[in-house]
Amino acid sequence: MQLDRRTLLAAAAGSLVGTAWAQPAPERIRLWLGAPPGSGGPTGPLREKDGVISNVAVPFLEAFVPAVPNGAAMLVAAGGGLTGISQASEAYPAARWLTDQGITAFVLTYRLPREGWHDPAPAPLQDGQRALRTVRAAADRYRLDPARVGVLGFSAGGYVLGMVAVRDETQFYAPLDAIDTQSARPNCAVLAYPVATLEAPSDRTATARAEVGDHASRESREALSVQSHVHAGCPPMFVVQAADATVNPENASLLEASCRERGVPVEAHRFETGGHGFGMGRPGTSTTAWPGLCRAWLSRQGFLR
């Protein structure tokens, strides 16, 4: 089914009990002026099924602007195991929540590695890095402070933006234009039930299989794991996880431990219930507390001035 963005926005609004989506249709910003780095990829329009999109030939951002912007921005990436992107249940509700705080939200639709790209592993990471630079390059247009640009990623989206956060000095693609003179380091990172490692025993997740396949070497898996690249210069991190998640909840624990070991400020919350994919909080579980905790943390990072 071809993507109908209004349908996805309506679904996102429906997941926010007691609220309505009043945001006008977001502006779409293409990431690459020409073809994305590398070659291959799918053909035809985006596809949508049950609020999950795929067939991403042309990655892009959608800009959600608050009524009264406070100058801060967050790049948002939903999960889906790198085989689809759960915009309706994760990214769009997060964008609504962020704009309610006065933060401009940029929702990323990134390439999926196994959709025919000849060099699959770097594709979503290239998009994530380019997206952050694109947001900073648009600072004047959206009245943003380039020193207050963070990332918010869910599951596989947490993997993509987690890699962007810990490998800001890595060039995932050759610079193309003035946008690529912008910094690729976020000022903070919020990661909800992130896939942080592709190594055993988490090497059978959908994200790991999509990113490196079933027969990758230990060295390859380590090179593409978030926790392996945490260093002292990484941005402050806020990590949330449910203990009963189907995807190994130790991913978040590994990331937290790496941050603490290397002196990166980190605030981590583990909830007893909520499973995987709870988005902005699953009703009836303790995960509904996390947006409030995150809001307090963002305030301390200077994002709610």
Mean pLDDT, rounded, for 229-236: 97
Task: Please give the single-letter amino acid code of residue 46.
Answer: L
**Could you tell me if residue 284 is left (phi over 0), alpha (psi between -120 and 50 degrees) or otherwise beta?**
left
Geometric angle at alpha carbon 185, from 28 and 85, rounded to 5°: 40
Q: Looking only at Cα atoms, what is the longest distance across the chain?
A: 50
pLDDT tens for each residue of 146-184? 999 999 999 999 999 999 999 999 999 999 999 999 999
Q: Is the pLDDT of residue 3 over 70?
A: no
Q: Is the pLDDT of residue 52 over 90?
A: yes
Question: Whole-structure pTM over 0.75, yes or no?
Answer: yes
- How buried is 13 (Cβ within 10 angstroms: 0-12 exposed, 13-18 middle, 19+ buried)? middle
**3-state class (DSSP) for residue 103:** coil
φ and ψ of 84, to 5 deg = -165, 175
Rg from Cα positions in the chain: 17
- Kindly report the CATH number that applies to the domain delimited by 5-300: 3.40.50.1820
Instruction: Find, among 104, 96, 106, 25, the residue nearest to 68 by Cα.
Output: 104
Geometric angle at alpha carbon 55, from 50 and 59, rounded to 5°: 110
136 strand-pairing partners = none
Q: What does the domain layout of the chain look like in residue ranges?
A: 5-300
Mean pLDDT, rounded, for 236-260: 94
Instruction: Please state, in angstroms and rounded to a whole number, the distance separating the CA atoms of residues 223 and 131.
Output: 22
Instruction: Please state, in angstroms and rounded to a whole number, the distance separating the CA atoms of residues 142 and 68.
Output: 11
Helices 5-14 and 92-100 cross at an angle (nearest 10°) of: 60
Band (pLDDT 50/70/90 cuts) for residue 22 is: low
Instruction: Please state, in angstroms and rounded to a whole number, the distance separating the CA atoms of residues 139 and 134.
Output: 9
Mean pLDDT, rounded, for 79-87: 97
